[in-house]
Amino acid sequence: MAKRNFHDGPGPSQRQLRVGELIRRTLSEILARGDIHDPELNRLSVTVGEVRTSPDLKVATAYVLPLGGTGREDVIALLARNQGPLRRSIGRKLSLKYAPELRFRIDETFDKLDETRRLFSQETVRRDIED
Protein backbone atom coordinates (compact mmCIF):
# COMPACT_ATOMS: atom_id res chain seq x y z
CA MET A 1 0.00 0.00 0.00
CA ALA A 2 1.40 3.39 -0.98
CA LYS A 3 2.09 5.83 1.81
CA ARG A 4 -0.24 8.86 1.68
CA ASN A 5 1.10 12.28 2.38
CA PHE A 6 -0.61 15.50 3.41
CA HIS A 7 -1.19 16.61 -0.19
CA ASP A 8 -2.98 13.44 -1.37
CA GLY A 9 -6.75 13.49 -1.64
CA PRO A 10 -9.11 16.33 -0.88
CA GLY A 11 -7.04 17.74 1.96
CA PRO A 12 -7.73 18.08 5.67
CA SER A 13 -11.28 18.44 6.92
CA GLN A 14 -12.51 21.53 8.75
CA ARG A 15 -12.38 19.51 11.95
CA GLN A 16 -8.74 18.55 11.37
CA LEU A 17 -7.86 22.18 10.67
CA ARG A 18 -9.74 23.45 13.74
CA VAL A 19 -8.22 20.85 16.10
CA GLY A 20 -4.75 21.38 14.61
CA GLU A 21 -4.99 25.11 15.28
CA LEU A 22 -6.21 24.52 18.85
CA ILE A 23 -3.28 22.18 19.47
CA ARG A 24 -0.85 24.68 17.90
CA ARG A 25 -2.02 27.50 20.16
CA THR A 26 -2.03 25.32 23.25
CA LEU A 27 1.41 23.88 22.52
CA SER A 28 2.77 27.39 21.91
CA GLU A 29 1.38 28.57 25.25
CA ILE A 30 2.78 25.56 27.12
CA LEU A 31 6.24 26.12 25.64
CA ALA A 32 6.15 29.91 26.16
CA ARG A 33 5.13 29.59 29.82
CA GLY A 34 7.59 26.81 30.55
CA ASP A 35 4.90 24.48 31.89
CA ILE A 36 7.04 21.40 31.23
CA HIS A 37 9.65 20.73 33.90
CA ASP A 38 12.68 20.43 31.64
CA PRO A 39 15.22 23.22 32.12
CA GLU A 40 16.83 22.53 28.73
CA LEU A 41 13.51 22.87 26.91
CA ASN A 42 12.41 25.90 28.93
CA ARG A 43 15.66 27.68 28.09
CA LEU A 44 14.74 27.68 24.39
CA SER A 45 12.28 29.79 22.45
CA VAL A 46 10.38 27.58 20.01
CA THR A 47 7.96 28.72 17.31
CA VAL A 48 5.12 26.32 16.50
CA GLY A 49 4.23 27.20 12.94
CA GLU A 50 1.60 24.59 12.18
CA VAL A 51 0.06 21.41 13.55
CA ARG A 52 -1.40 18.84 11.17
CA THR A 53 -3.65 16.11 12.51
CA SER A 54 -4.48 12.70 11.15
CA PRO A 55 -8.08 12.16 9.99
CA ASP A 56 -8.91 10.30 13.24
CA LEU A 57 -7.23 13.11 15.30
CA LYS A 58 -5.06 10.56 17.13
CA VAL A 59 -1.76 11.83 15.71
CA ALA A 60 -0.69 15.48 15.61
CA THR A 61 2.47 16.54 13.79
CA ALA A 62 3.82 19.86 15.02
CA TYR A 63 6.08 21.85 12.71
CA VAL A 64 8.47 23.80 14.91
CA LEU A 65 11.49 26.05 14.59
CA PRO A 66 13.85 27.29 17.31
CA LEU A 67 14.36 31.03 17.53
CA GLY A 68 17.19 31.94 15.18
CA GLY A 69 16.92 28.58 13.41
CA THR A 70 19.99 27.09 15.12
CA GLY A 71 19.97 23.85 17.08
CA ARG A 72 17.14 22.32 15.08
CA GLU A 73 17.99 18.70 15.83
CA ASP A 74 18.41 19.50 19.54
CA VAL A 75 14.93 21.07 19.69
CA ILE A 76 13.35 18.07 17.99
CA ALA A 77 15.13 15.72 20.44
CA LEU A 78 14.05 17.80 23.47
CA LEU A 79 10.45 17.95 22.31
CA ALA A 80 10.42 14.21 21.57
CA ARG A 81 11.89 13.52 25.02
CA ASN A 82 9.06 15.57 26.58
CA GLN A 83 6.32 14.22 24.31
CA GLY A 84 4.50 12.52 27.22
CA PRO A 85 4.20 15.60 29.47
CA LEU A 86 3.31 17.78 26.47
CA ARG A 87 0.63 15.33 25.42
CA ARG A 88 -0.84 15.22 28.94
CA SER A 89 -0.85 19.04 29.18
CA ILE A 90 -2.63 19.35 25.83
CA GLY A 91 -5.11 16.66 26.86
CA ARG A 92 -5.93 18.54 30.09
CA LYS A 93 -6.33 21.92 28.37
CA LEU A 94 -8.39 20.73 25.40
CA SER A 95 -11.51 18.66 25.75
CA LEU A 96 -10.68 16.05 23.13
CA LYS A 97 -11.78 12.43 23.30
CA TYR A 98 -8.13 11.37 22.92
CA ALA A 99 -4.97 13.33 23.59
CA PRO A 100 -3.15 12.93 20.27
CA GLU A 101 0.25 11.35 19.92
CA LEU A 102 2.63 14.22 19.21
CA ARG A 103 5.28 14.14 16.52
CA PHE A 104 7.70 16.96 15.85
CA ARG A 105 9.23 18.09 12.56
CA ILE A 106 11.25 21.12 11.54
CA ASP A 107 9.14 23.85 9.93
CA GLU A 108 10.83 24.55 6.62
CA THR A 109 8.36 27.26 5.58
CA PHE A 110 10.78 30.05 6.43
CA ASP A 111 13.59 28.41 4.43
CA LYS A 112 11.28 28.13 1.41
CA LEU A 113 10.22 31.75 1.83
CA ASP A 114 13.86 32.88 1.87
CA GLU A 115 14.57 30.83 -1.26
CA THR A 116 11.53 32.34 -3.01
CA ARG A 117 12.70 35.86 -2.13
CA ARG A 118 16.18 35.03 -3.43
CA LEU A 119 14.74 33.77 -6.71
CA PHE A 120 12.56 36.85 -7.18
CA SER A 121 15.53 39.12 -6.56
CA GLN A 122 17.50 37.64 -9.48
CA GLU A 123 17.80 40.00 -12.43
CA THR A 124 16.54 37.49 -14.99
CA VAL A 125 13.44 36.69 -12.94
CA ARG A 126 12.68 40.35 -12.24
CA ARG A 127 12.99 41.10 -15.93
CA ASP A 128 10.55 38.29 -16.81
CA ILE A 129 8.05 39.46 -14.19
CA GLU A 130 8.15 43.08 -15.35
CA ASP A 131 7.52 42.17 -19.00
Per-residue model confidence as pLDDT tens digits over 49-105: 999 999 999 999 999 999 877 788 999 999 999 999 999 999 999 988 889 999 999
Task: Give the pLDDT confidence score for residue 16 in this predicted structure.
Answer: 94
H or E element that contains 62: strand 59-66
Q: Is residue 54 part of a domain?
A: yes
For the chain, how many structural domains are there in total?
A: 1
Domain of 57?
Answer: 14-130
Long-range CB contacts for residues 4-11, cutoff 8 Å, separation at least 24: 6/52
Amino acid at 105: R
Instruction: Give the SS3 label for residue 46.
Output: strand
Q: Is residue 24 part of a domain?
A: yes
What CATH number does residue 37 fall under?
3.30.300.20
Q: Is residue 117 part of a domain?
A: yes
Of the chain, the end-to-end C-alpha distance in Å amounts to: 47
